[in-house]
Amino acid sequence: MSLFGTDGVRGLANVDLTAELALDLAVAAAHVLSERGAFEGHRPQAVVGRDPRASGEFLEAAVVAGLASAGVDVVRAGVLPTPAVAYLTAARGADLGVMLSASHNPMPDNGIKFFARGGHKLHDDVEAQIEARMREPWERPTGADVGRVRFDETALEEYVTAVVESSPARLDGLSVVVDGAHGAASATSAAALERLGAQVVAMNCEPDGLNINDGCGSTHPEGLQQAVITIGADVGIAHDGDADRCLAVDADGNLVDGDQILTILALAMRGRGALRGDTVVSTVMANEGFRAAMRAHAIGYLDTAVGDRYVLEAMRAGGYSLGGEQSGHIVLLDHATTGDGLLTAVHLLAEVASSGRPLRDLAAQMTRLPQVLVNVGGVDKTRLSTDPMVSAAIVEASDELAGVGRVLLRPSGTEPVVRVMVEAATETQATEIAGRLASLVTERLSLTHV
């Protein structure tokens, strides 16, 4: 089974993802990228960052040691968002970027994401080469040929400044509540929005290494929804642990998800001639209401597999400027090479401010079809596509929903679960069918099933 999922290597820190594994991955990555010509004519350089979780401290040390031992100069950027590492890798002309984060996962987990020169995520074939080269014998550099390590105190400020300067409009007069998930957004989002003129209340922006994603952020927006209502704010913004996601909350406390944000940005960008190809890239998990909204406004859409890396690959291949996922990974390719929660928030809020319309009205440009998502754990997700009873049940449910909904079952690329998604004409019908399918998946694919 491959170490790499849809978003790097993840696992329980110090059990699945150990210091030894992190060091070996770093060395192998240096070797593979060197042989692919990434370092030709100059001494290689890498940018390394992390989110605030405690395990990131020893994993960062291991990655830095591995890279330096392979002759790579390392710039330690400290605690900052994943998209900041991608930005700095491109802006500094570095050959490699490494981010230590498990994104929205619980604190005990951690992960390693690699970025190639230019700040783009590695292709699947490059990840496979890195995995294949781990722990191979190699000639170690000595003396002046070993890598040097320095900490860059300006990295965070450089990233925030770049995002602020990308904004299409000022945010004067907007009141915003920002939920930083006690993660990497804690030192970036509120500061950036305040520079643009917004009045900001920050919540869950006091990371201690242990509280990241703990009942807060984009995976637990309930507290933000209540705060927006209590404070009387115009908008709420929710990030995940590494701040590559953005969800929003309108003034009435209603959640505005990634599909709705994509709709708002697509119409705004098309209006100012910035939506290249008049097309948006989304994933198979996008709500059917998103597709209907795009058709209604004569905007094309392209579906990809789940994962912002696949969205980005399709965007680059087609020359498109906007793409994203329902989860809040939004890619604005004219400004970033990966999903960026702060960048998304800035451009979303800029549309609210410049249009003079409340977020509620902008979000209403898309009508969501009732959608239910159930995560089924404790199962062997590799057997999902081969179990005949599960396959038959999917066909039966799809026939039942023909013309008014759809069914999608898929193994998660980042967690040990099977995701069961059902869209239907009513919430009741979607819930009933999703529950039925989830029960069958548990019964048929249970790790204890013989």
User: Span 171-182, mean pLDDT?
Assistant: 98
Is residue 205 domain-shared with residue 122, that is, in the same domain? no
Helices assigned H by DSSP within 379-426: 388-400
Write the pLDDT tens digit of every residue in 410-445. Answer: 998 777 899 999 999 899 999 999 999 999 999 999
Share of the chain above pLDDT 90, in %: 88
Q: How confident is the model at residue 373 (pLDDT cuts 50, 70, 90)?
A: very high
Please tell me whether residues 183 and 302 are part of one structural domain: yes
Mean pLDDT, rounded, for 34-49: 80
Enclosing H/E stretch for 407: strand 406-411
Residues 198, 285, single domain; the answer is: yes
Mean pLDDT of 323-346: 96
Hunting for tokens 């097309």 — which residue is that? 279
In a domain? residue 144: yes
What confidence tens digit (pLDDT) does each residue in 220-231 have? 999 999 999 999
**Final residue belonging to a domain, choices 347, 363, 379:** 363
Strands 73-79 and 279-283: unpaired
Instruction: Give yes or no: residues 289 and 326 share one domain.
Output: yes
Which residue range is the domain that position 112 belongs to? 4-153
* DSSP H helices in 166-256: 189-195, 222-231
Dist CA 61 CA 234 (whole Å): 42
- The count of other CB atoms within 10 Å of the CB of residue 211 is 17
Per-residue pLDDT at 133 exceeds 80 = yes
Domain boundary among 129, 153, 177: 153
| Domain co-membership, 146 together with 292 | no
Tell me the three state secondary structure of residue 239: coil
Instruction: Assess if residue 410 is contained within a domain.
Output: yes
- For residue 104, being part of any structural domain is answered with yes
Angstrom distance (rounded) from CA 450 to CA 447? 8
* DSSP track, 97-153: EEEE--TTS-TTEEEEEEEETTSPBPPHHHHHHHHHTTT-------GGGS--EEE-T
What residues form DSSP beta bridges with 373?
421
Does one domain contain both 17 and 122?
A: yes
Task: Give domain status of residue 411, yes or no.
Answer: yes
Q: Which of 301, 334, 363 is the last residue of a domain?
A: 363
The pTM for the full model equals 0.89
CATH for 124: 3.40.120.10
Task: Give domain status of residue 450, yes or no.
Answer: no
The Cα diameter of the chain in Å comes to 69
In this structure, is residue 408 part of a structural domain? Answer: yes
Q: What is the pLDDT of residue 25?
A: 97
The 8-class DSSP code of residue 216 comes to -
What own/partner pairs with CB < 8 Å and gap ≥ 24 does 409-414 have? Answer: 409/384, 409/437, 409/441, 410/284, 410/306, 410/384, 411/381, 411/382, 411/384, 412/375, 412/381, 413/5, 413/6, 413/7, 413/306, 413/307, 414/5, 414/6, 414/7, 414/10, 414/103, 414/105
- 423 contacts 369 by C-beta, under 8 angstroms: yes
Q: In angstroms, what CA-CA distances link 389 with 137, 255, 381, 423, 444?
A: 47, 36, 15, 21, 8
With 0-12 / 13-18 / 19 or more C-beta atoms within 10 angstroms meaning exposed / middle / buried, residue 394 is middle
Separation of alpha carbons 358 and 126, rounded Å: 44
Chain mean pLDDT for the chain: 94
Active site members = 103
64-88: per-residue pLDDT in tens? 999 999 999 999 999 999 999 999 9
The two tokens of residue 277 are 């190809």
397 and 342: one domain? no
Q: Do 239 and 197 fall into the same domain?
A: yes
Helix (H, G, I), strand (E, B) or coil at 51: coil
pLDDT digit string (tens) for 381-404?
Answer: 999 989 999 999 999 999 998 878
Do both 278 and 415 map to the same domain?
A: no
Residue 369 per-residue DSSP state: P
Q: Looking at the 3D structure of the chain, how many domains does it have?
A: 3
The pLDDT of residue 311: 94
166 and 147: one domain?
Answer: no
d(C-alpha 269, C-alpha 190), whole Å: 24
What CATH number corresponds to the domain at position 422? 3.30.310.50
Q: What is the C-alpha R_g of the chain?
A: 22
Residues 76, 121, 186, 214, CA torsion sign: negative
Query: Is 380 part of any domain?
Result: yes
Percent of the chain with pLDDT over 70: 98
| 112/299 Cα distance (integer angstroms) | 36
Q: Are 388 and 344 in contact (CB under 8 A)?
A: no
Please report the pLDDT score of residue 38 as a whole number: 59
Residue carrying the six token digits 């004519």: 41
Residues 407 and 329 in one domain: no
| 149 shares its domain with 162 | no
